[in-house]
Amino acid sequence: MPLPFGTRKLLLVIVFALASMAQGTSRDPEEIVILQVTVADPHLCELHQGVAVDFSLAPSTELPWAHTWVAPGSRQPLEILLDGRPYDVEPELINIVRQQNRRPISLRDVKLPPCESIEQTGKRQQRVVMLSRPGISRDGTTAIVALTLRWQRNGYAAGYTVHLRREADGWRIDGRSLEWVE
């Protein structure tokens, strides 16, 4: 017996919604803009100055617990250097980024710019760049993104957190946490 038209329509909506979630699509283009600004930061390349590195981007967002402020219930403050001065990120913004990252989104629309370092020496190394979903403050003026680099051969990781501020012409990075290595 065929399903009534209204039921078929509802099932199609559910199937499309589930397919969209499985692909991890983002409905907020602002997230993609913030992530694009994050990977375009020259600091990413400066960390590997003089080393021959090929970067690739993870397929979707991720928030690894290696960032000490990530674990639920963590009382570890997130200290960012803004204009060379330490600044503790508001706990509310940390909670927002934790919530946002309960569901990953696809990074297919984020493009890694080329990293051209001077005097690249040694064997080329592979690094996977992983990004968290941005946590955007309730007033829409600041955001944070956790950036993690994973070494493909030995599984090591390193990372830092980027603090962004919205200005009249768009988002710009105005601070970073210290780098960590595991």
Pick the closest to residue 96 from 59, 60, 143 (CA basis). Answer: 143
pLDDT of the chain along its 182 residues, tens only? 565 655 555 444 454 444 444 444 445 899 999 999 999 998 888 877 667 778 889 999 998 877 877 776 777 778 888 767 888 888 899 889 989 999 999 999 999 988 765 555 667 778 899 999 999 999 999 999 999 998 877 778 889 999 999 999 999 999 998 888 88
Instruction: Give me the pLDDT at residue 90, please.
Output: 87
Instruction: Give me the pLDDT at residue 118, please.
Output: 52
What distance separates the 2 farthest-apart alpha carbons in the chain?
Answer: 71
Query: What amino acid occupies position 17?
Result: A
Pick the closest to residue 174 from 163, 182, 166 (CA basis). Answer: 163
Instruction: Give me the pLDDT at residue 122, please.
Output: 64
Domain extents in the chain: 28-181
**Residues paired with 145 in a beta bridge:** 162
CA pair distance 78, 94, nearest whole angstrom:
8
Measured over the CA atoms of residue 85, residue 36, residue 93 and residue 73, the dihedral's sign is negative
Q: What is the pTM of this model?
A: 0.79
| DSSP per-residue letters across 2-59 | PPPHHHHHHHHHHHHHHHHHHHT--S-HHHHHHHHHHHT-HHHHHTTTTEEEEEEE-S
Residue 61 near residue 129 (C-beta atoms within 8 A): no
